[in-house]
Amino acid sequence: MSDMNKAMVEKYRNSFLSEVEANVEEGEWVKMCMQCGVCAGSCPLGDAWEHTPQKIFMMIRAGKRDEVLASDSMWMCTSCYNCIVRCPRELPITHIMHGLAHYAKRLGIVPQGQPTAKFAQLFWDNLIKKGRVNELKLGLSLYFMNGFGEGIKTSLKMKDIGLGMVKTKRMNPMEMLGGHAVKDLSGFQKVIKKAQELEEARLAKHGA
């Protein structure tokens, strides 16, 4: 258990709802859910999830902290926004799902091998280096996400498409060597740093 997670458990004891309200993006909306289930019925991937948004919200109120934060359901959200559009109470459900995933990630309780979480990390690492996404590197890191052997296999399978993209100038192989950055990379990094400071401050206020 991460230190921060321990601190949060200590602070909120019974009221996981309050914890979510204070720490999860748009978490203050969870209390307003009226359990109609329209979100659950509207989710195109609802059948594939362990818990629907309706259930997640009820579990939050029931104080099922570990089950919610360790659930992989919110990681499965594809941001289709069907639930947001249909929610009669206008809860920003998609945002809450991402907020919960983000919070779980910060607390260090992400389900082992969760592919969305893995990809999100790759995307972040890629982005933060140059201030823009290096598509070639991101694609390759995705191929090799599950090991070297599988990476080679996927690369070979995709080689014709890759060569075709190079030929039609949709992809530049030189990007492998460092790749280009945004115009003001240090400025970009300052922005990110500032955002992180603000978030830490917010956490310090509400959380640990």
Member of 1, 34, 176, 182 binding another protein (CB under 8 A):
34
Nearest to 95 by CA among 77, 112, 119, 111: 77
C-alpha angle 14-17-23 in degrees, rounded to nearest 5? 110
Q: Restricting to residues 55-74, which ones interact with another protein according to CB under 8 A?
A: 55, 58-59, 61-62, 64
156 token code pair: 């070979």
Binding status of residue 45 toward another protein by CB under 8 A: no
Count of other CB atoms within 10 angstroms of residue 23: 23
Piece in contact with another protein (CB under 8 A), picked from 11-19, 71-79, 111-119, 178-186: 11-19
Binding status of residue 15 toward another protein by CB under 8 A: yes
d(CA 204, CA 208): 5
The answer to whether residues 122 and 130 touch, using CB atoms and an 8 Å cutoff, is no
Total residues interacting with another protein, rule: CB under 8 A: 21
The residues that touch another protein, with contacts defined as CB under 8 A, are 14-15, 17-18, 21, 28-29, 31-32, 34-35, 54-55, 58-59, 61-62, 64, 89-91
